[in-house]
Structure 1
Amino acid sequence: MKNSIIFIFIVVVLNSCNFNANIKKENNIRDKEAAESVVGFLYLYTAKKEFDSIPKLMSQDFYKLVAREDLKSYLISKKEKLGDFKDFTLKDWKTTETSGTNPKTEYLLIYDVTYSNGHAEESISLVKENNKVKIFGYNVNLKE
């Protein structure tokens, strides 16, 4: 009887605890490649001036901050200022995959990008959303 009471007490205590058993993995090559694939489509659509194809690459959380129409306007104005897309080179990257009770995967890729009228450093943050990698943030810094 005493052992049963101790067992029940332990079960109650464990059930009342809020476990946050997350495991982090950083800089996984497969995660990097998945993110690079999405960014490859971003630059392909940019090179072809297919700006209407780019919104499908963006995460739903991106659109909580930026209206779809504003994204297209931004891309067109960037093209007018920097000119035609020429080439891009990966400069730096980082991935973080968290598995457990609060799973998520985040990616950051930084590129040197060449346009016909200049160069830019572009930081692209991505997230895994419904098992698909989507762009969450897109930042362009002009290089002088």
Structure 2
Amino acid sequence: MTNPQGAQTWVQTGPLTFNRSLTGADRVYEQVSEVPGLTIHHPGFWEVSYHARTGLTAAGGVTTAVFKNGNLIDGSEAIRASAEGQGTIGQRFMHTFVRGDIVTLHVYRFGGGGIYILSNTDGRTAVMAHWVRETWQSQ
């Protein structure tokens, strides 16, 4: 395994503060533009993790996922359904990227109204990625 010299092996969003109501169509992903996209600086196998603080003011739910270059990464989805309140959902997974890939957080709502995603000092929404190795090798 070669350590990428001169390349970032860890990328993540900084501390974010926002509150975004989800008003798009039911079960249609929208990019969370308040969470900056992460640029992959070195090709290879990366560990990606994210957490998203969500809120519901009525019965319904929210699904989050990570996209690569505008396309869903299968297996990155997380779901939260509840009557009311806030909670944090997310995933941790491995994925192969090439240099320059852009990783973004997306979300959709289903059912009910009053569904939102937020980030502040009481709980953050963030995306992180850490380079693991050049290629995937099954054991």
What TM-score do the two structures reach when normalised by structure 2? 0.32
RCO greater where, 1 or 2, for CA within 8 Å and sep 6 or more? Answer: 2
Q: Quick check: which one's strand share is greater? A: 2
Q: Quick check: which one's helix share is greater? A: 1
Bigger Cα Rg: 1
What TM-score do the two structures reach when normalised by structure 1? 0.31
